[in-house]
Chain A
Amino acid sequence: MADTTASTSTAPSADSVLAPSPGALMRRRMFGHYGFMFGTAALLAILLIALFAPLIAPHDPLGQDLARKLIPPIWHDDPKATWVYPLGTDMFGRDYLSRLIYGARISLLIGFAAMVISGVIGTALGVAAGYFGGRVDMVVNFIITTRLSMPVVLVALAVVSLIGNSLWVVIWVLGLLIWDRFAVVMRSSTQQVRGLDYVAAAQALGCSTTRVVLSEIMPNIVNNLIVVATVEMAHAIILEAALSFLGLGVQPPEPSWGLMISEGKGLMFFEPWLIGIPGTALFVLILSINLLGDGIRDVTAPENRN
């Protein structure tokens, strides 16, 4: 990259060669960061698979056929294994690959939607606490402490079981429960930025509070917000899988990865792939989201790496 800039400009000044532009520096850090690259690529692949599920999936994810139940995946040395069902079929004869592909939609939808809900709540609380300080800070701190003392999995299970489970109930219950990290991080980031000169300058110019927060504070804490967003999206996906695994999340016959593991666990001694395949999918998805988050943190704020 440095070569091209040097060759295209006829007379490069010493500064432009020695100090690459901030954008070029950022790009160089991004491409040099293997975790970031892997996370982005894997997440993008899963996202595309989820978006184009109807085009990619070879079979109907809900289509049962007991005559074809429990066909092992293709890498098993078994006469029943066939390329028609590359990942095999489950105990109802449903194509495991198609269920896996449609399951990506559910994980991503729940993870993203719950993250947005909790992000809005947590950011509003955290920025308010950090910006106003004093009483507001005390109240927000109190709300955060109260929220942290409620056991998430237990409360989520209890509330979902009492309201009745549907996809959107799970999303809202998770979204309303996991905003604590957003609030904690946004609060401390806002506190750091609030005392800086340009914020004081904007206040002195008579900007409204909304304007100071939106155009002076937010742009400077948005990096931290994105990092927390990745952590919480992964968190929501794990929680959904755990809820579905315990039978109180996404309901059969929908293909949620947590539910697939739950359905397969009774047969896992003879058909271990039934839990191995959806578990690996879950692992890769969460790993790629976490690597992306770590990567964004390293690339945008390399001084915090250690």
Chain B
Amino acid sequence: MLVYALKRLGVAGLVALTVSFLSFSLIYVSGDPAFALAGETATEADIENIRRVYGFDRPIVVQYLDWLGSALTGDFGHSNYLNTDVASVIFDRLPVTMTLGACALAFALALAIPLGVLAAMRPNTLLDRFALTVAVIGQAMPSFWFALIMIFWLGITWRLLPITGTASWLNFIMPSVALGYYITPAVMRLTRAGMMEVLSSDYIRTARAKGLKPVRVLFKHALRNAIIPVVALSAVQFGFMLGGSIVIETIFAINGLGFLAWESIQRGDLPMMQAIVLVLACFYIVLTFVADLLNAFLDPRIRVS
């Protein structure tokens, strides 16, 4: 287990390093960053000056190492547009996005796991078909459109829920549903497949044969084993949702990392963009690492191979 964990940690570290370089190189995507910063009316001397002050005249590797060194100590540079340091803004906004992601994941699991279990218990029945239809429709609905539909009916027509901001927990309901429903098909299909496989295994037959209550067989014996891959998938999907919340946060004006990312992109605030990409990528890397370990811990077969 320890060897496995160390191996995964090594890979995760390497991936994080590569991602940090990719995030850093965002400032060179558009060409010369000094030119972009200076604006259209700048003279050649202004651009040269900016190049010196910001250190763009140094070799790229040196700039990268300098940026990485500061990032590792929690210093992501200075945002010219907000006139504060980037790190404080990001850690200000991060909890909101985390809350949204957690609520969305909770909604998705609460809907997908029962549906998946029910579908697996009665395969190829009306119930199974219904669950499958929900999955197919869920996958085909763009989340921003679904969000607008909810705003129209629940927010404006019936006035049940607030449509913008983060004032109370009610504000999180629609964004969580909009963000979470998109992953329900994947979770449902995995739960269904896992349960079908487990339910046809020998030890379930034994458990039934020795006269255990069906409920006990289902939850204590079957679901426990079928849920293992779902745990890993959830961790990965949580990472995806943090990255994907940019659309939902923009629609519902939720002051999280995604909204900040969108504002920064609109403003061309490069240090902020670099930092947000790096932070979200690192979150994903940590989550997949934890998921790998959790998987190996729950299922000894993975550790061995």
User: For residues 231 through 282 of chain B, which have their beta carbon under 8 Å from a beta carbon of chain A?
Assistant: 239-240, 242-244, 246-247, 250, 258, 261-262, 265-266, 268, 273, 276-277, 280-282
**CB of B139 closer than 8 Å to a CB of A:** yes
CB–CB B148/A261 < 8 A? yes
Complex partner residue of B280 from A35, A151, A265, CB under 8 angstroms: A151
* Chain A residues whose C-beta falls within 8 Å of the C-beta of B143 in the assembled complex: 242
CB–CB A161/B149 < 8 A? no
User: For residues 263 through 286 of chain A, which have their beta carbon under 8 Å from a beta carbon of chain B?
Assistant: 265, 268-269, 272, 275, 279, 282-283, 286
Complex partner residue of B196 from A153, A282, A306, CB under 8 angstroms: A306
- Bound Cα distance from A145 to B285, whole angstroms: 9
Complex partner residue of A154 from B149, B193, B280, CB under 8 angstroms: B280
Shortest C-beta distance, B122 to chain A (Å), equals: 13
Shortest C-beta distance, A27 to chain B (Å), equals: 23
What 1/0 flags go to B188-210 for Cβ under 8 Å of A? 00000100100000000000000
Known: A154-B276, A242-B142. A162 touches B244 (CB 8 A): no
Among B13-21, B169-177, B216-224, the stretch that binds chain A is B13-21
CB–CB A279/B149 < 8 A? yes
CB–CB B19/A150 < 8 A? yes
- Bound Cα distance from A38 to B272, whole angstroms: 46
CB–CB A150/B281 < 8 A? yes
CB–CB B11/A265 < 8 A? no
**CB of A11 closer than 8 Å to a CB of B:** no
* Chain B residues whose C-beta falls within 8 Å of the C-beta of A51 in the assembled complex: none
Among B22-30, B54-62, B66-74, B294-302, the stretch that binds chain A is B22-30
CB–CB A283/B145 < 8 A? yes
Known: A162-B30, A287-B136. A142 touches B142 (CB 8 A): no
Contact residues of B: prevailing secondary structure: helix
Please give me the residue from chain A that is nearest to B287 by CB atom: A149
**CB of A70 closer than 8 Å to a CB of B:** no
CB–CB B26/A149 < 8 A? no
Please give me the residue from chain A that is nearest to B133 by CB atom: A35
* Chain A residues whose C-beta falls within 8 Å of the C-beta of B136 in the assembled complex: 35, 287, 290-291, 294
Complex partner residue of A269 from B149, B152, B196, B242, CB under 8 angstroms: B152
**CB of B184 closer than 8 Å to a CB of A:** no
* Chain A residues whose C-beta falls within 8 Å of the C-beta of B285 in the assembled complex: 149
CB–CB B142/A283 < 8 A? yes
* Chain B residues whose C-beta falls within 8 Å of the C-beta of A161 in the assembled complex: 265-266, 268
**CB of A246 closer than 8 Å to a CB of B:** yes
* Chain A residues whose C-beta falls within 8 Å of the C-beta of B261 in the assembled complex: 154, 157-158
* Chain A residues whose C-beta falls within 8 Å of the C-beta of B212 in the assembled complex: none
CB–CB A151/B152 < 8 A? no
Of residues B29, B142, B261, B284, which shows the largest number of chain A Cβ atoms within 10 Å of its Cβ? B142
Of residues A146, A282, A283, which shows the largest number of chain B Cβ atoms within 10 Å of its Cβ? A146
- Bound Cα distance from A150 to B274, whole angstroms: 12
* Chain B residues whose C-beta falls within 8 Å of the C-beta of A162 in the assembled complex: 26, 29-30, 268
- Bound Cα distance from A33 to B273, whole angstroms: 47
Known: A161-B268, A283-B140. A155 touches B277 (CB 8 A): yes
**CB of A148 closer than 8 Å to a CB of B:** yes
Known: A268-B148, A275-B145, A283-B140. A150 touches B22 (CB 8 A): yes
- Bound Cα distance from A258 to B148, whole angstroms: 12
- Bound Cα distance from A15 to B277, whole angstroms: 63
Please give me the residue from chain B that is nearest to A145 by CB atom: B15
CB–CB A306/B19 < 8 A? no
CB–CB A279/B145 < 8 A? yes
- Bound Cα distance from A77 to B119, whole angstroms: 42
CB–CB A157/B262 < 8 A? yes
CB–CB B139/A163 < 8 A? no
What 1/0 flags go to A162-189 for Cβ under 8 Å of B? 1110000000000000000000000000
Please give me the residue from chain B that is nearest to A237 by CB atom: B142
- Bound Cα distance from A291 to B135, whole angstroms: 11
Extra contacts, 10 of them, besides A154-B276, A306-B123 (Cβ < 8 A), are A150-B281, A152-B243, A152-B244, A153-B246, A158-B273, A161-B266, A246-B262, A248-B265, A282-B142, A283-B142
Q: Can you list 29 residue pairs at the A/B interface with Cβ under 8 Å?
A: A142-B11, A148-B288, A149-B281, A150-B19, A150-B277, A151-B240, A151-B243, A151-B280, A152-B244, A153-B243, A153-B244, A154-B258, A154-B261, A155-B277, A158-B265, A158-B273, A159-B26, A238-B142, A242-B142, A246-B250, A248-B265, A261-B144, A275-B149, A275-B152, A283-B145, A286-B140, A286-B142, A290-B140, A306-B123
B-side interface residues toward A, CB under 8 Å?
Answer: 11, 14-16, 18-19, 22, 26, 29-30, 123, 136-137, 139-145, 148-149, 151-152, 156, 193, 196, 239-240, 242-244, 246-247, 250, 258, 261-262, 265-266, 268, 273, 276-277, 280-282, 284-285, 288
